[in-house]
Amino acid sequence: MIKELSVLLVEDDDVAAESVMRSLKKVSPEIHIITAENGRVALDVIKNKIPDRLITTPYIVLLDLNMPVMSGHEFLEEIRRSDEYRDIVVFVLTTSDDDRDRSQAYHHNIAGYMVKSAVGPQFSKLSALLDAYRKAIELSPR
């Protein structure tokens, strides 16, 4: 049995988080989504320190950048520094199209950077990307 891909969604805005969840569920109703409201909570989640938000591999992280307590950039810095979590696949999902944000994020080995437009349909690309990623995991021997 192939494990279903999980998603850790790190987003401080509850509406934005719900919006992502709704879009993902439309494409993959079975998808397991865990949310964290900032980078600090997300770190606790990947360390499985929060009993009601346990996460299992394989999973990917969808990361907002501008968040209180611990920003997306700080979260990336933390996990890329640790031996255990440096390989986690992270996609940045943000409203910022600032070049500095983009290059700083890519500097921390992110798998992709998606700019949310303020309005209009989106996430179709994200869903396609998740699909492709899931297939890649299925093909890989691990």
Site residues, other proteins (CB under 8 A)? 13, 15-16, 18-19, 22, 65-66, 94-98, 116-120
Beta bridge partners of 89: 60
Residue 13 or 131 with smaller CB distance to other proteins = 13
Q: Within 62-111, where are the H helices?
A: 72-81, 99-107
Give the separation between CA 137 and CA 140, rounded to whole angstroms: 5
Residue 120 or 141 with smaller CB distance to other proteins = 120
- Closest CB 3 distance from other proteins, rounded Å: 30
- Closest CB 98 distance from other proteins, rounded Å: 5
Residue 40 or 116 with smaller CB distance to other proteins = 116
What lies within 8 Å, CB to CB, of 78 at 6+ separation is: 39, 43, 70
